[in-house]
Structure 1
Amino acid sequence: MEEFIAGRTEDRNREMAPKEKFSKLFEELKSCSVSEQKEKIKEMNRLMEEMNKEELKYVCTTELFNKIDQMIEEEKLTMENAILLLKHMGYCNMLLNMINLSFMDSSLSLGFVKMIVKEDKKKEERNEKLLTELCECYLLFNVGTSSQLISVCVPCLLKASLKKDENEEAQKEKEMALLALCNMNVYNKVEIALYLNEIKEIIQYHQKHRNLTRLAYQSAWGFLMTEFFNDKSLEEVITNELHFAREVESELDGLMQSVDWKKKEEEMEKTERKAMNIISRWIRSICHYFYSCHLWNEECVELISRIVDVLLASRDNHSEIGEEYIQSFIVVAKNGAVIFDVLLKSGAIDAAFEEIQRRTLNRVMTSEILRFFHLISMRLKEKEDGEMEEAKRKELKRKIFEKMEEEGFEDIITSFFEKFSYIFANHDVFIYL
């Protein structure tokens, strides 16, 4: 009889959705031994890897974080086990490119701030591993961070990322540290000059030894490119010393080969979904670069060509990636330093023409491509300084409008320009970069 009941219970558990299994296991943590807690948390972490965004939002609530804080306070959950759960929870949120504000609204967030400050003040006696993990947990969930915590967390996580060990566990730890650093946004004022040597060393060491995972490498660049958005003096280092465009072009090429683009997301293997998420994560860094870059070279053309490849490969089953990547064309078109020959040579204009003629094109992509065309039209109507530059502009304008006429778009673009100009002049319209 007992075996029958146990079997029925096991069947019911199998029928439960991952988010429901997660909640059930979480409630069981209070009455478990430390070792039992650890095993249950490992299962909870596995379940989170199966969840989509909506399911992860369902479990990652302010209420859950408050309960974790209370369990730590009442010594019903060890700090080691709490960190094991929270780090993976933050990792899964980041991998799905989620912004989760629930942690910031919880008592656990304040508790972590106090623990980080307290551990940092210990100086020689402090537990470096604990401090690193506390910083990781905090930054993985917090898009806004105080200058006091930045001065503690940034050097701590960079130090952890600089370790040269290349075994699987060390790679995972470096990935986590860099992923946490990458989560800071452009409003977090980091004095990058204090940390430039460290992040350069991390990137250059990987370029030579390939010691980071693809996600960790993307995150290292993500941290640096966020600071580039605020500090344009980094351009020479990023473009000519670290070769951002060349490196991203190579990374996107490798990631694209890891994905069977004929599959829909639900049909993909776990490794394929992760590769897709990393491809998606690159777009913010690419846009930051194109927005601020004035040192255009052949590497930039190759990068835009690779973005065209991503756009075309993703259009049938993963159009949301195409929607993200068309943003980079828009940013390029808005960059006053860009000669439009770059967009012709890279295939970006051809790809936009090809995309907008597809019958299955959705409203978002249509809007983004029309904005791209509109920006080109506006830029081509601008006057250039000097007879030589003006002559180049006119020749380029002739080439582009010939292509538009060839594709049947010349009258349409002119019409868009007139209508958009009227709308922008007479209505309060917000244009997203």
Structure 2
Amino acid sequence: MIFEEEKREEKNERLLVDLCECYLLLGNQFNSELIPICMSCLFKVALNKQEDEETQKEVEMALLALRRIYTFQKMEKELYFNEINEIIQHHQEHHNLTQLAYQSAWGFLIYRLRADNSLEEVIVNELHFGREAARELEELSNCVDWKRKEEVNGRIEVMIIRRWLNEVYDFFDSSILWNEEFAGLIGSIVQVFRASRDNHKGIRYGCLYSLEYAAEKRNMEIDAFVKEGAVDLFLEEMKQSTLKDNIIRYFLNILLNFSRQMKAKKNNEMEEAKRKELKRKLFEMNEEEGYEDTITCFHGIFSFLFKNGCNVLSLDVSDYLVNV
């Protein structure tokens, strides 16, 4: 039906939009010849900058559908690049999109990064993904009464937070770039974790997945995790973890990545001095918080952790300790 409508001399644009949205929202596998038609049709809707409620809903639905385009094949940038840039930049200046629409626009772009690393510079330094994701997570989190379980489960903001955490995870999984704005994003994720840990397991794990992949980045600044309270959070949670809570494996894996980076030699004297100062700071935190005792306690249950899917942890306790 989409092919037929597209070939008509006098297209029914509304019908074509509805067909494209249904096709993308309900499908799992997409015809490569249909994708350009759907993208062209839905971007026309998504680029509408009017701010009345009806237009906002139409734009939101179009962007939701576009976010559903899952493909690992590299797309021609001519199909989407200028359009998605304009949508995101215009919202940053005028705030014309709904929260769900804005998240969906970012989700579409982040997914393209999987097949096209040339998008990294634009996403990080021109569109400021770290800054935008941090702000959105904070604003959405502030709308939720996290102490009331029924409130948490019934809020659309919670669903959008999960979607943002998925985008953050995908970004860290696909990109190696890092700038100072990502320190703020680490802090926002820590805040969401603390707020949600009692009443929303899915959000809690979404935060952990994102932090774990951030810790694996080659250009990641460990200092950001210290300043933004992530290391404090890890130590707190590890003390409370039990055999029944395999959340411990995420913290151990993150701290193991820190230890590996601390052992690496830097390229110049300034970097080496910074590395030694950070090692000293972490060592002091370890002593104050009883970190070494905590790790030692868990050493006897590594076999349990392996059975629960953590097959990369070291059996040597000293690998998790950062010594000056």
Whether TM-score is above 0.5 comes out as yes
The residue number in structure 2 matching 1:172 is: 57
Counterparts of 1:158 and 1:400 in 2: how far apart (Å)? 48
Q: In 2, distance between residues paired with 1:414 and 1:333?
A: 22
Alignment gaps of 5+ in structure 1: 1-114
1:286: Cα distance to partner? 0.9
Do the aligned partners of residues 196 and 418 (structure 1) sit closer, same or farther apart at CA in structure 2, a change above 3 Å counting?
A: farther
TM-score in terms of structure 1 length: 0.65
Partner of 1:398: 280
Paired letter, 2:55: A
Q: 1:341 aligns with which of 216, 223, 228?
A: 223
Q: 1:196 to 1:342 in 2, by over 3 A?
A: same
Q: Report which of the two structures shows the higher radius of gyration computed on alpha carbons.
A: 1
Matches within 5 A, 1:21-420: 115-122=1-8, 124-264=9-149, 267-268=150-151, 273-358=155-240, 363-410=245-292, 413=295
TM-score, structure 2 length as denominator? 0.85
Report what 1:36 is aligned to: none
Q: 1:340 to 1:359 in 2, by over 3 A?
A: closer
Provide the C-alpha distance between the structure 1 equivalents of 2:46 and 2:164, rounded to a whole number of angstroms.
Answer: 19
CA distance in 2: counterparts of 1:260 and 1:295, whole angstroms: 34
Work out whether residues 144 and 187 of structure 1, in 8 Å CA contact, stay in contact via their aligned partners in 2.
no
Match of 1:11 in 2: none
State the number of aligned residues. 310
**Structure whose residues are more often helix by fraction:** 1
| Equivalent residue letter for 2:235 | F
| Identity %, equivalent residues | 50
CA–CA separation in structure 2 for the residues paired with 1:204 and 1:145: 28
Q: CA deviation at 1:208?
A: 1.8
Distance 1:328 1:143, change over 3 A: same
Deviation, structure 1 residue 401 = 2.8
Report if the CA contact (8 A) 1:171-1:212 is conserved.
yes
| Shift of residue 269, structure 1, vs aligned partner | 7.9
State whether residues 323 and 368 of structure 1, in contact with CA within 8 Å, keep that contact through their aligned partners in structure 2.
Answer: no
**Shift in alpha-carbon separation, 1:370–1:430, aligned structure 2, 3 A:** closer
Whether contact under 8 Å (2:241, 2:247) holds in the other structure is no
- Give the secondary-structure state (helix, strand or coil) at the position aligned to 1:363: coil
Larger RCO (CA within 8 A; separation ≥ 6): 2
